[in-house]
Amino acid sequence: MKYRDFGNTGIKVSEVGFGGWGIGGNEHGHSYGPTDDKLSLEAINKALDMGCNFFDTADVYGFGHSEELLGKALKSKRDRVIIATKVGSDFYQGGGFQTFTEEYIRFALEKSLDRLQTDYIDVYQLHNPPVRLLTKEETYGVLNALKREGRIRAWGVSILDPIEGLACLSTAQPDCIQIPVNIFNARPRESLLPTAFAAGCAVIAREPLANGFLTGKFADNPRLEFEEGDVRKNWPPDYIRARIEAAQRLVFLEKEKRSLTQAAIKFVLSMKEVSVTIPGTKTAEHAEENMGSSDLKPLSATELKEIETLAKRNFDLPER
C-alpha cells in the first residue's frame, strides 16, 4: 500500500481507502443492497491487513449501522487508522431532513463518537450541504470550533458538483473536499482539483467504480434490475444500459494481473491532486481487490490517452 499527504493537515493516508456506505445495509433504503455484518467485519479487517488506514463513512449510512461496524472493528486499532464521517442528514427524525445548525452538528457528533467508540473524529464532513450554505462563512464556524476543541482533527465537505467545492474554497479553508471522480466523471479535474491542490486542500475521490459499473460485472446482464433499497433501483433503464456498454469499451484495460476494477481505481490515482480514493467495500474479496490496486503499476500514458479519447467520443455509445 502506498500513502499520500492528506492536504496540508500533516496526516498520511493510504491512497486507497475503505468506502463504508454499502456496509450500512439497505434496511432504510438508499444503499447498495443487503449485507451480512460478519462479511462486513471481515472486509474491514482484510483492508487493515492490506495497509488501508483510511475509513470513510457517514452517520446516515444504515442510520448509524456503518459507523457501529467500524467502531467495533477499529476500536482496538484506533491509533493506526484515520476515521472520516459525515453529518447533516438528520435521520433521527426519520430521514429526508437536512440540518447544519451548530446545535445539531454538536448533537450528531456525540452520537457518531458513541457509535465509532472513539473520543475524536479525524475527518468530519458536511454531507451534501446546499450551495447557499457553502457561500456563508458562518456555516463553518462550528467546524473550526470543534477542531480547536480537539473533537475533530480536520474538516471538509462532501459534495456532488465541482461548483459546490469551488464555492467552499472561495469562502473558507476546508481541510478536504470529497467528490465523485471516475472514468465516467472527470469534470472535477477541470478546475476543482487544481484549485484544491493549490490551496493545500485534500481531495477524497469517491465512486471511483462509478456505482459498481466500472467493475464490469454487469456486462452479461443488460436488462439489469436492482432490488428495493438499492440506490440504483430507480435509475432510468437507458442510463443503466449506457453505463454497462461504456464499461465494455474499457475491457482493453484488463490485464493478466489487473482487473477492470483495479484499472478504474488506478485511473483515479493517476491524479496527483487526489489524496485518497474510497471504493465501496462490502466483502473481504472486495477489499483484497480494491486495496491491491495500490501495488500495481500505474496506467500507461497510452492507456490514459485512450481513456481520454473514448470519453470525448462518449464511449462510442449510440444515440438513444
Residues 6+ apart with CB under 8 A from 112: 59, 67, 85, 87, 121
Burial of residue 251 (CB within 10 Å: 0-12, 13-18, 19+) is exposed
Residues 6+ apart with CB under 8 A from 211: 231, 232, 243
CA 36 vs CA 283, 290, 308: distances in Å: 9, 19, 38
Residue 99 has, within 13 A of its CA and on its CB side, a CA count of 19
Which of 126, 55, 107 lies closest to 84, judged by CA? 55
**Residue of 32, 61, 124, 140 marked catalytic:** 61
61 part of the active site: yes
Which of 105, 120, 5 lies closest to 74, judged by CA? 120
Catalytic residues: 61
